[in-house]
Amino acid sequence: MIISKGNIIFKRLTSEDIELVRKWRNSTRITRTMIYREHITREMQKEWFMSVDNKFNLYFIIIHKGKKIGMINGKDINWEKKTMETGVFFWDENTLKGHIPIVCTLAFAELGIMVFGLTAYAKIRKDNYNAKRYNKFLGFEICEDNEDLEYQLYRLNEESYLKKAKILRKAFLLIAGKSPTTMHFKKPDYDCGIAQLIENNIPVSILQKSEDVENGKIFNF
């Protein structure tokens, strides 16, 4: 699956990229922000990938101007209850200095929250103050603070997103331009069932175009 909006591309994680993800996930700069901080081996990474390569999880490599810069995800998706857990990290340090991280996050939020009507949850370490500020800036609200846990649970739904990120959304739409969001499903997406689930949840009112292509289908909205 490939989702594109402007010059931002989300490419569904495949086995060919899991070593790239593991390399950066094990880096000190990224590990210290995570709840799980142990070193991840090749075998552990393979087992993890096999456990999430299904219709309930969407992990994407973020590509900007042809360069792989990070990973974003919606996991444990429940299409009936309309919930998912989200996360994102960028390994390209130059990217962190500009506006691209917020554009990527907003692009993902627009899909998950505004298109599919999902409520997003995020688990953030209590000592990760940058992440807490960033998520509150987007509209995430704390919904659970268990003293026995090292993380806090935050929630973002359509109401809080529109209320908090109104100006950000306007800026995002200006930056992203008027080009449609394109979603390209491929055979593996149909094999695991995620393509059918997403197709069934695309609102007809926003669908501009759909076409069958070799071994897949493309939607524009």
Per residue in 176-196, pLDDT (tens digit) is 777 889 999 999 999 999 999
The residue ranges of the chain whose pLDDT is under 70 are none
- Total-model pTM: 0.94
Residue 198 CA, distance from chain mean position? 14
pLDDT tens for 142-152 read 997 778 899 99
**Cα 20 from Cα 199, distance rounded (Å):** 29
Check if the beta carbon of residue 77 is closer than 8 Å to that of residue 52. no
CATH number at residue 62: 3.40.630.30
**Cα 162 from Cα 90, distance rounded (Å):** 25
Check if the beta carbon of residue 50 is closer than 8 Å to that of residue 59. no
What is the pLDDT at residue 165?
A: 82
Count: domains in the chain? 1
What is the pLDDT at residue 6?
A: 86
What is the token pair recorded at 188? 């593996």
Domain that holds residue 131: 2-220
**Cα 160 from Cα 80, distance rounded (Å):** 21
